[in-house]
């Protein structure tokens, strides 16, 4: 054996080398670092970090469009968009000072706020709720009352309150009158028949259904194969994607106030770009690393546009009635454990229209449609697997 000892030594050295090399690789193949002092030197631009709720996708097309089209830069901002993850809570990232702004659903952010997060909503980008409860057309569930006795899918983690409010309003006890089923990332629960009515976002999971081949016909499922509950129509819709800022800095830091208005101005222009150029906006998101297929991505941009436009008071303005409805449901609807989202009415500082109104006013002179009164969505044809 003695004479072979040298060879394993070489092999081991190679192995150690490979490990080291890959260790270096991990360091260099990195995406942009969070907004930091380094941006300061970059032509005097103000570094700004925006925290998303999830990975780059059409849901955030307006921000990526603003980045790609140079709208942020024109406003003197060097914006870094940080993608979310399974355990990243965007509003607490802002409260911790790790990002300047974050996108979060209103009820979830208000719950964090009640627990001490110093955050304020500065713009309500999505005017409508994108959550559906989808069932099969041959076993249709079209109102909350129909849910009685069914297997009802939900994502939990605060994504379920519109559903629970709908059931409560229809006189159902979510804990006793339905069987709640925890849903996964995809729609396999509904497709396999484990779930009678599954939660789905119009811009994502609902499209996944329409990208799936019906094994009986060999063709893609169509909207006729499904029945939906739309919470906007049921009257238990809650406000979703909203921009949140640091309350304390908003109150005392004049520079941050200016940055906020500038950031919102660029954001408005980004969403207008996404409305008027959905194909390009989808392509921009793909360039930023989204793994979703092309037709799925375009569908998402188009559906998100429907949630934003028209914005009767101008994009980003928080509608008082919609806010009040969101707060009411947050206070009055109990989840399975009997807990409500909020225990007390949020204070005045929970949202402000001041900065978004100023941003809208300053854009008034330009040739921009800030309301989207005549907005017409495009027709998107989904392909198998979203490709």
Partner 1 sequence: MAVGSVRWRPVALGAAGVLGLVVLWEGYKALGPAEGVTVAGQAVLPRTTDLGMPHVWDMIGRALEPATSIEGAAPVWLAVVQAALVTLGTATAGLLLGTVVGILLALLMQRFVVAEWAVQPWLILSQTVPLIALAPLVVSWGGRLQLGPVQWETWMSVGVIASYLAFFPMAVGALRGLKSPEAAHTDLFRTYATSWWTTLLRLRLPAAVPYLLPALRLATAAAILGAVVAEVSTGHKGGIGRLIIEYAQSGSADPAKAWAPIAGAVLLGLFAAGLVYLLGLALGRYRRQEETA
Residues that bind partner 1 (CB under 8 A): 5, 8-9, 11-16, 18-20, 22-27, 29-31, 33-34, 36, 38, 54-55, 83-89, 93, 96-98, 184-188, 191-192, 204, 208-209, 211-212, 215, 286, 289, 291-296, 383-387
Q: 257: burial class by Cβ within 10 Å (0-12, 13-18, 19+)? A: middle
Torsion of CA 104, 107, 112, 116, to 10 degrees: 120
Give how far the C-alpha of residue 80 lies from the chain's centroid of Cα atoms, to the nearest Å: 17
Closest CB to partner 1 among 145 and 294?
Answer: 294
Count the alpha carbons within 13 Å of 217 in the hemisphere toward its beta carbon. Answer: 8
Closest CB to partner 1 among 25 and 377?
Answer: 25
Closest CB to partner 1 among 38 and 74?
Answer: 38
Q: How far is the CB of 374 from partner 1 (least distance, A)?
A: 31
Torsion of CA 137, 139, 140, 145, to 10 degrees: -170
* C-alpha dist (Å) from residue 207 to 131, 262, 280, 364: 12, 34, 20, 36
Closest CB to partner 1 among 221 and 355?
Answer: 221
DSSP string of 48-114, one letter each residue = EEEE-SSSS-GGGHHHHHHHHTTHHHHTTEEEEEEP--TT--HHHHHHTTS-SEEEE-HHHHHHHHH
Closest CB to partner 1 among 66 and 81?
Answer: 81
Torsion of CA 88, 52, 35, 247, to 10 degrees: -90
Is the CA virtual torsion 300, 301, 302, 303 positive or negative?
positive
Nearest partner of 174 among 194, 151, 158, judged by Cα = 151
Closest CB to partner 1 among 188 and 362?
Answer: 188
Residue 106 CA to residue 318 CA, distance in Å, equals: 11
Reduced to 3 states, what is the DSSP secondary structure of residue 272?
helix
Q: How far is the CB of 271 from partner 1 (least distance, A)?
A: 23
Q: How far is the CB of 57 from partner 1 (least distance, A)?
A: 9
Q: How far is the CB of 310 from partner 1 (least distance, A)?
A: 30
Q: What backbone phi and psi angles, to 5 degrees, belong to 80?
A: -110, 125
Q: How far is the CB of 83 from partner 1 (least distance, A)?
A: 5
Q: How far is the CB of 122 from partner 1 (least distance, A)?
A: 22
Is the N-terminal amide bond of 310 cis, ω within 30° of 0?
yes
Residue 82 CA to residue 73 CA, distance in Å, equals: 17
Q: How far is the CB of 94 from partner 1 (least distance, A)?
A: 12
Closest CB to partner 1 among 145 and 191?
Answer: 191
Q: How far is the CB of 91 from partner 1 (least distance, A)?
A: 13
Closest CB to partner 1 among 133 and 295?
Answer: 295
Closest CB to partner 1 among 42 and 233?
Answer: 42
Q: How far is the CB of 359 from partner 1 (least distance, A)?
A: 28
Q: How far is the CB of 162 from partner 1 (least distance, A)?
A: 21
- Phi/psi class of residue 272: alpha, beta or left (left: φ > 0; alpha: ψ in -120 to 50)? alpha
CB under 8 Å to 367, separation ≥6 — which residues? none
Closest CB to partner 1 among 136 and 375?
Answer: 136
């Amino acid at each position: 054996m003695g004479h072979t000892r040298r060879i394993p030594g070489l092999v081991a050295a190679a192995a150690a080398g490979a490990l080291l090399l890959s260790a270096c690789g991990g360091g260099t193949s990195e995406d942009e670092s969070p907004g930091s002092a380094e941006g300061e030197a970059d032509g005097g631009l103000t570094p700004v970090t925006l925290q998303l709720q999830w990975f780059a996708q059409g849901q955030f097309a307006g921000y990526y469009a603003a980045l790609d089209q140079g709208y942020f830069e024109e406003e003197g901002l060097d914006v870094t968009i940080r993608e979310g993850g399974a355990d990243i809570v965007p509003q607490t990232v802002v409260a911790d000072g790790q990002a300047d702004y974050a996108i979060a659903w209103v009820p979830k952010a208000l719950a964090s706020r009640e627990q001490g997060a110093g955050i304020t909503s500065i713009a309500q980008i999505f005017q409508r709720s994108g959550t559906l409860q989808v069932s099969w057309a041959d076993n249709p569930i079209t109102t909350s009352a129909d849910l009685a006795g069914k297997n009802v899918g939900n994502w939990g983690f605060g994504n379920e309150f519109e559903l629970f409010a709908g059931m409560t309003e229809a006189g159902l006890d979510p804990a006793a009158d339905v069987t709640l089923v925890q849903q996964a990332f995809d729609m396999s629960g509904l497709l396999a028949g484990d779930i009678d009515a599954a939660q789905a976002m119009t811009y994502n999971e609902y499209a996944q259904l329409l990208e799936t081949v019906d094994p009986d016909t060999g063709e893609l499922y169509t909207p006729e194969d499904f029945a939906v509950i739309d919470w906007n129509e049921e009257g238990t819709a809650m406000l979703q994607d909203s921009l949140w800022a640091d309350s304390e800095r908003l109150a005392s830091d004049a520079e941050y106030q200016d940055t906020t208005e500038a950031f919102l101005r660029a954001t408005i222009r980004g969403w207008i770009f996404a409305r008027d150029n959905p194909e390009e906006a989808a392509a921009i998101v793909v360039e930023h690393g989204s793994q979703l297929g092309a037709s799925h991505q375009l569908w998402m941009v188009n559906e998100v546009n429907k949630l934003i436009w028209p914005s009767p008071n101008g994009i980003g303005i928080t509608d008082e009635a919609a806010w009040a409805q969101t707060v009411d449901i947050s206070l009055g609807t109990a989840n399975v454990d009997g807990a409500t989202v909020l225990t007390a009415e949020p204070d005045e500082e929970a949202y402000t229209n001041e900065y978004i109104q100023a941003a809208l006013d300053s854009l008034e002179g330009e040739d921009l449609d800030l309301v989207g009164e005549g907005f017409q969505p495009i027709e998107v044809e989904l392909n198998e697997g979203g490709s």
